[in-house]
Structure 1
Amino acid sequence: MPVTVTRTTVTTTTVASPGLGSPTILGSPRALTQPLGLLRLVQLLSTCVAFSLVASVNAWVGFTGNWCMFAWCFCFAVTLIIIIVELGGLQARFPLSWRNFPITFACYAALFCLSASIIYPTTYVQFMSHGRSKDHAIAATAFSSIACVAYATEVAWTRARPGEITGYMATVPGLLKVVETFVACVIFAFISSPSLYNHKPALEWCVAVYAICFILAAVAILLNLYDCTNVLPIPFPSFLSGLALLSVLFYASAMVLWPLYQFDEKYGGYPERWKDSGCRNSHSYYVCLWDRRLAVAILTAINLLAYVADLVYSARLVFVRV
């Protein structure tokens, strides 16, 4: 929103923030003294400290280290952009819908920091020798956890309440879309090795399921972020219900086929971890293939549950509309 400056007089605009009980001041440094502004400062500081501690001792190696460093840097950069936009009152000039963008990012950031807070200590920190580098890594994990809590708190504060008129991404189905796409991205990271699936058509089908469902959910998110849901030839709630139903059916098939062909010996799978020679090392920053198979199976189940919940909420939207 605009900021009008007349000599030494500054006119600011205030808007109510869902769930905060007090207005947020836009286009003024006082925006940072409001509850949501202070929370974003905590997010900015904690992510900055996390990646700075790790970078200062070069304590990030391999896939897991790169993932965690990306998570912290990405969250820091976008949080800084959000703060600058609100301080300058530039919401109207921002290319994405401001009703949907901040909470969408906050949900993604909470998931990114959560994954980094789990992956970094379990696959990297515990294998480090005692010293300055390990101390920095432990401190970075603590700040990553703080950031996760801060982003999750923003989601809880700003999500839609019953009866509120707000953006779709602030509703439960919208937040579930974020979870679905994030989990799919983690699945893609674990199946980056083609040897996990290129020897069986059933496993290739599972990979196709992950890709198709990710694209459909991403399209739904982008339509809301760009405020162009009216371009669809059918009502948006009906589109969401059809998308959720199709995704549930696809993921149900993957939930059966992926574990069957990865862990059943009759179908060429490996039911026991020790049979994977890459998993026998006591310490390795590389995630072995059997662990990747198991991780994908668990993530497939998580996403299936998310799509089922999405289908239930989306069906309710259609029912209410009718």
Structure 2
Amino acid sequence: MPVIALEARDFTSSLFLVRTWEVLSGCTTFSLVASLEPSELNKNSSNHQHLNTLRIFCMFSWCFFFTLTLLIHILSIMQFHSLIPISWKNLTMTAAVLGALMYLTASVVFPCIVMAHQRATPRLVAAVVASCTTFLGYTSESYVLHTQAQELRGYMGSMPGLLKILQVWGGCHMIPLIVEGVLGLPTFAHSWQLWVSSVSYSVCVLMSLVTLVVILGDFAGRCFLPFDKLLAGFSLIGVLLYMVATVICFIKILQQRDLGQRIPPELVILETVVASITLLAYTVDLAFSIKLLCDRSHK
């Protein structure tokens, strides 16, 4: 068992302060949203019922990263992280960067889907401000971790690792968007688009989860294939699938404009933006993977 020998500087370090900031601000965020009256969230619900899933997704993001950050904070203070069979440096970097991205999206999506359609109550405004504050906390932690030496921030702190986190972020957002697509699908004619998009996003999410498990568990040396070639294959598949999904997104936009379909415009725009950003992440990641393979082949 590790010996707990905390000193005063442990409570004044940059990581301790920003993680405390994240925990307090994150708790404030989901507590304010949870305390909202149904009337504050469900005004004009007959016209915007399709946005319930996105509100739930924002709440899940706030609660999940609050819990994860609290656990990381406690383990770091008690110095028990060495007992966990997980790459601690990769876990903390992943939690910080992905938390910043998820809070950024929630801070943009939540006011758009709730406050734009009703009177902005003080608690709603306070929840949005708290979410933005928590985003700044995760951004600060990401910067602090990124300024550490490479051996301290791990693979996820490198450019390819950050691209992997961006891919996970994109995949996480496609789940509620697909659910909303199912609930708001106006005609059966769009079912092929829904199925193709769902398969593309699902495969990419699965690949991202496998990559995270391998990296966080330090299983790279145990893979049945060379890990760098496996990552290159995942990146290539991700580029192809997201190219298809992005084209479908633009088709939805054209159909909505030309045919007057009743697809919620905010969902189509959000899906197109996220798909385009994720496609760019996979493309750049593929370029890094090809460069790495070429460099190793010349040695």
TM-score with structure 1 setting the length: 0.78
What does residue 257 of structure 2 align with? 271
1:148 paired with 2:123, answer no
What does residue 298 of structure 1 align with? 273
- Counterpart-to-counterpart distance in 1, 2:135 and 2:199: 31
Residue 225 (structure 2) aligned to one of 231, 234, 238: 234
AA of the residue aligned to 1:321 = R
User: RMSD across aligned C-alpha pairs, in angstroms?
Assistant: 2.6
Q: What's the secondary structure of 1:113's corresponding residue?
A: helix
Q: What's the secondary structure of 2:109's corresponding residue?
A: helix
Instruction: Give, in angstroms, the shift of residue 162 of structure 1.
Output: 8.0
Q: What's the secondary structure of 1:191's corresponding residue?
A: helix
Assess if the C-alpha contact under 8 Å between 2:14 and 2:144 holds in 1.
no
Give the number of the structure whose alpha-carbon radius of gyration is greater: 1
1:69 paired with 2:59, answer yes
Instruction: Give, in angstroms, the shift of residue 161 of structure 1.
Output: 6.8
Query: Structure 1 residues 310 and 102, CA, compared in 2 at 3 Å: closer, same or farther?
Result: same
- Counterpart-to-counterpart distance in 2, 1:243 and 1:196: 34
What does residue 78 of structure 1 align with? 68
Aligned residues: 282
Assess if the C-alpha contact under 8 Å between 1:196 and 1:293 holds in 2.
no
What does residue 180 of structure 1 align with? 167
What does residue 3 of structure 2 align with? 3
- Counterpart-to-counterpart distance in 2, 1:139 and 1:202: 39
Q: Deviations over 1:125-144 (max 9, x none)?
A: 243336xxx11111111111
Gaps of 5+ in 1: 5-11, 13-26, 278-287
1:45 paired with 2:24, answer yes
- Counterpart-to-counterpart distance in 2, 1:102 and 1:319: 31
AA of the residue aligned to 1:32 = F
AA of the residue aligned to 2:160 = P
What does residue 145 of structure 2 align with? 158
Q: What's the secondary structure of 1:295's corresponding residue?
A: helix
- Counterpart-to-counterpart distance in 1, 2:193 and 2:131: 38
What does residue 103 of structure 2 align with? 113
Which is richer in strand?
1
Query: Structure 1 residues 66 and 258, CA, compared in 2 at 3 Å: closer, same or farther?
Result: closer
Instruction: Give, in angstroms, the shift of residue 263 of structure 1.
Output: 3.9
Q: What's the secondary structure of 1:234's corresponding residue?
A: coil
Q: How does 1:239-318 map to 2 (within 5 A)?
A: 239-260=230-251, 262-264=252-254, 269-271=255-257, 275-277=260-262, 289-318=264-293
- Counterpart-to-counterpart distance in 2, 1:75 and 1:162: 25
Q: What's the secondary structure of 1:99's corresponding residue?
A: helix
Q: What's the secondary structure of 1:227's corresponding residue?
A: coil
Assess if the C-alpha contact under 8 Å between 2:145 and 2:153 holds in 1.
no
- Counterpart-to-counterpart distance in 1, 2:222 and 2:111: 45
Instruction: Give, in angstroms, the shift of residue 256 of structure 1.
Output: 2.4
Deviates more, 1:108-117 or 1:189-198: 189-198
Gaps of 5+ in 2: 43-51
Instruction: Give, in angstroms, the shift of residue 159 of structure 1.
Output: 2.6
Q: How does 1:27-42 map to 2 (within 5 A)?
A: 30-42=9-21
AA of the residue aligned to 1:298 = V
What does residue 282 of structure 1 align with? none
Q: What percentage of aligned pairs have identical amino acids?
A: 29
Q: Deviations over 1:195-250 (max 9, x none)?
A: 37964435422321111111112211110111111121222112111211221122
- Counterpart-to-counterpart distance in 2, 1:217 and 1:106: 17
1:321 paired with 2:288, answer no
Q: What's the secondary structure of 1:100's corresponding residue?
A: helix
Assess if the C-alpha contact under 8 Å between 1:104 and 1:178 holds in 2.
yes
Q: What's the secondary structure of 1:96's corresponding residue?
A: coil
Q: What's the secondary structure of 1:142's corresponding residue?
A: helix
Assess if the C-alpha contact under 8 Å between 2:186 and 2:261 holds in 1.
no
- Counterpart-to-counterpart distance in 2, 1:160 and 1:38: 16
